[in-house]
């Protein structure tokens, strides 16, 4: 009896999740009248804006990951090693992006860093890109920090540091060659999640007027019929890829550890 | 001599705090100052003087109804997300299903909870939009969804779409909590003569309650701040707060820049309230699940 109810709940739930995926896939194949074809995908891939916006977002994602790693790894390491009393403050800050909606943050950016302010970031394309990267870094901060902090918990930070120091290593060497390789799995899974977030992000990029992938998808959605579901299929595949890589990395790490 | 250790302690303290200076600077520049700017802007008139007028000006029919719709949307999607997510998680953890369904469900939940925004809207338009797969299938079977008053580009359409990322988030958070229910508790309850219903009502649910309510608050904030899904689904006309703020930032549709600050300030107040509840309950629930 319990099992029957369980199966019913699970099947109904799965139906709800699978139908939209089937729907978008089927719709994306219907561009040619009367038969299924990949015409919509061809149209998308032939559109130069697709590649421009996609590589723009990819570049920004890479920048976000680099900034995030440089920001989070030393901070989380330092808090663990020397400043446990700063933990509540740091954790509170990393939770803030979940509390303050992205649209409110970007509104603050626009007013704070406009052309007549002390730091006129929105005045130039490069400045706006930097601002957007920082915005994405804040969006990814809760996930990146949690991931790296959990990674640090599994290693003995103090002993590793002392060992490296007694061999004559400086702080940069310790961070780059001792700590970072040890939390690489955590960093990578944070990085893949960041990639998924940045590639699909719409609000910040649209309001800062940058040619990112999210606003491009929205624009296409407002004007076309068959390309949007094709884009949705592509976006879903990308999200799936990012999550899959995340799992793969942590599984490989477990394997390594089991061998060692 | 006696001064030595004291002076060293004084010198060392600031040096250690220097280590998190980059992080603190980043937080101030890109989290705290921007938020602070919104908050102060909400209490300033056009000349920069202090005023409550902006907050009072929020009290118009259109803005009140936007807030109300947003809160309703967030409450309903959070409640349904929690209920359905809980049912699915409980089915997998306790329902006697084969172990192989668990891992794919978790993986899929990870993907689906991140599949929000513009592409999600496209997926639902392609499925239950005016020319969507299900709409057409049902029409062939003689059921016209439109005639029953269903419209994807409406409040309930938005609810159905938001559930696609709300339910998986609930599943991801609640499965570890369900795993934390110790078998001994159920056995102890059974030994004392409790039925399954009694066990759930008097043992399991009270233990899960903080983590259920906490997740509810998280889902609420999650829906409340979402812009992209609603915007891609309905365009700028749907009257919910994030869409209104989006239009205001783009083109000052309210005709008063300071009113925009007040609108954003209201959003912060509501999500902070939701998250304060979340964090408080989270701390309480973790005491039980050690």
pLDDT in tens, A219-240: 998 888 899 999 999 999 999 9
Q: CATH classification of B61-288 is 1.10.3720.10, yes or no?
A: yes
What pLDDT is attached to residue B1? 42
Domain boundaries, chain B: 61-288
Nearest by CB: A3 against B31, B96, B249: B96
Of all residues in chain B, the one with the smallest CA distance to A227 is B122
Nearest by CB: A2 against B35, B96, B221: B96
**pLDDT confidence of B211, banded at 50, 70, 90?**
confident
What pLDDT is attached to residue B12? 55
B284 pLDDT more than 80: no
B273 touches chain A (CB under 8 A): no
What pLDDT is attached to residue A225? 86
B236 touches chain A (CB under 8 A): no
Residues 195-234 of A with CB under 8 A from B: 196-197, 200-203, 206-207, 214, 217-218, 221-222, 225, 228-229, 231-232
Q: B33-42 and A102-112 helices cross at what angle (nearest 10)?
A: 80
What pLDDT is attached to residue B48? 80
* Interface predicted TM-score of the whole assembly (ipTM), two decimals: 0.89
Hey, which CATH number is domain A39-259, 3.40.50.2000, 3.40.50.150, 3.20.10.10, 1.10.3720.10? 1.10.3720.10
What pLDDT is attached to residue B57? 85
**pLDDT confidence of B288, banded at 50, 70, 90?**
low
B245 touches chain A (CB under 8 A): yes
What pLDDT is attached to residue B135? 87
What pLDDT is attached to residue A56? 96
Residue where the block lists tokens 């590639």: A199
Nearest by CB: A98 against B30, B121, B221: B221
Domain boundaries, chain A: 39-259
Nearest to A107 by CA among B285, B39, B116: B39
User: Which of A27, A81, A84 best probes binding to B when mutated, by most B CB atoms within 10 angstroms?
Assistant: A27
**pLDDT confidence of A251, banded at 50, 70, 90?**
confident
A105 touches chain B (CB under 8 A): yes
Look at A69 and B139; give whichever has higher pLDDT: A69
Nearest to B22 by CA among A154, A171, A152, A185: A171
**Is A82's CB within 8 Å of B19's CB?**
yes
Nearest by CB: B88 against A10, A79, A247: A10
How large is the average pLDDT for residues A158-169? 92
**Is A137's CB within 8 Å of B101's CB?**
no
Residue where the block lists tokens 């139906």: A15
The tokens describing A196, both together, are 């998924």
């Amino acid at each position: 009896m319990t099992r029957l109810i369980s199966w019913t709940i699970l099947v109904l739930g799965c139906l709800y999740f699978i139908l939209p995926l089937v729907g978008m896939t089927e719709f994306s194949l219907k561009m040619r009248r009367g038969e299924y074809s990949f015409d919509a995908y061809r149209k998308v891939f032939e559109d130069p804006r697709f590649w421009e916006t996609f590589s723009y977002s990819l570049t920004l994602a890479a920048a976000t990951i680099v900034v995030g790693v440089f920001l989070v790894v030393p901070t989380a390491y330092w808090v663990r090693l020397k400043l446990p009393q700063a933990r509540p403050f740091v954790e509170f800050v990393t939770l803030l992006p979940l509390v303050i909606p992205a649209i409110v943050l970007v509104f603050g950016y626009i007013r704070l860093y406009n052309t007549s302010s002390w730091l006129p970031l929105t005045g130039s394309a490069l400045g706006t890109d930097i601002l957007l990267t920082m915005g994405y870094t804040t969006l990814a901060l809760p996930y990146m920090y949690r991931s790296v902090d959990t990674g640090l918990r599994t290693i003995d930070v103090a002993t590793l540091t002392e060992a490296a120091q007694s061999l004559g290593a400086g702080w940069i060497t310790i961070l780059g060659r001792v700590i970072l390789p040890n939390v690489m799995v955590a960093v990578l899974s944070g990085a893949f999640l960041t990639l998924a977030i940045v590639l699909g992000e719409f609000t910040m990029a649209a309001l800062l007027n940058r040619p990112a992938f999210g606003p491009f998808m929205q624009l296409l959605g407002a004007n076309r019929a068959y390309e949007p579901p094709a884009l949705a299929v592509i976006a879903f595949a990308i999200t799936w890829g990012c999550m899959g890589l995340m799992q793969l990395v942590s599984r490989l790490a477990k394997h390594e550890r089991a061998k060692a | 001599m006696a001064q030595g250790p004291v002076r060293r302690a004084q010198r060392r303290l600031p040096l250690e705090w220097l280590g998190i200076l980059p992080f603190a600077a980043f937080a101030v520049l890109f989290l705290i100052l921007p938020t602070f700017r919104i908050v102060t802007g909400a209490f300033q008139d056009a000349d920069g003087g202090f005023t409550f007028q902006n907050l009072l000006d929020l009290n118009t029919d259109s803005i009140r109804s936007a807030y109300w719709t947003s809160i309703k949307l967030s409450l309903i999607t959070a409640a349904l997300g929690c209920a359905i997510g809980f049912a699915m998680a409980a089915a997998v953890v306790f329902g006697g299903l084969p172990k192989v369904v668990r891992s794919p469900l978790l993986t899929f939940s990870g993907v689906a909870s991140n599949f929000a925004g513009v592409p999600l809207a496209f997926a639902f338009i392609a499925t239950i939009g005016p020319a969507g797969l299900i709409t057409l299938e049902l029409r062939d079977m003689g059921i016209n969804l439109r005639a029953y008053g269903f419209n994807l580009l409406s409040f309930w359409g938005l609810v159905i779409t938001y559930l696609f990322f709300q339910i998986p988030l609930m599943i991801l958070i609640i499965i570890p909590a369900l795993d934390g229910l110790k078998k001994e508790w159920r056995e102890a309850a059974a030994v004392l003569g409790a039925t399954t219903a009694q066990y759930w009502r008097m043992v399991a649910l009270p233990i899960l309650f903080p983590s259920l309510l906490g997740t509810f608050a998280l889902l609420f904030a999650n829906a409340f701040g979402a812009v992209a899904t609603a915007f891609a689904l309905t365009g700028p006309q749907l009257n919910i707060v994030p869409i209104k703020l989006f239009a205001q930032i783009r083109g000052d549709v309210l005709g008063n820049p300071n009113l925009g600050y007040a609108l954003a300030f209201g959003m912060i107040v509501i999500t902070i309230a939701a998250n304060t509840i979340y964090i408080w309950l989270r701390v309480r629930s973790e005491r039980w699940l050690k």
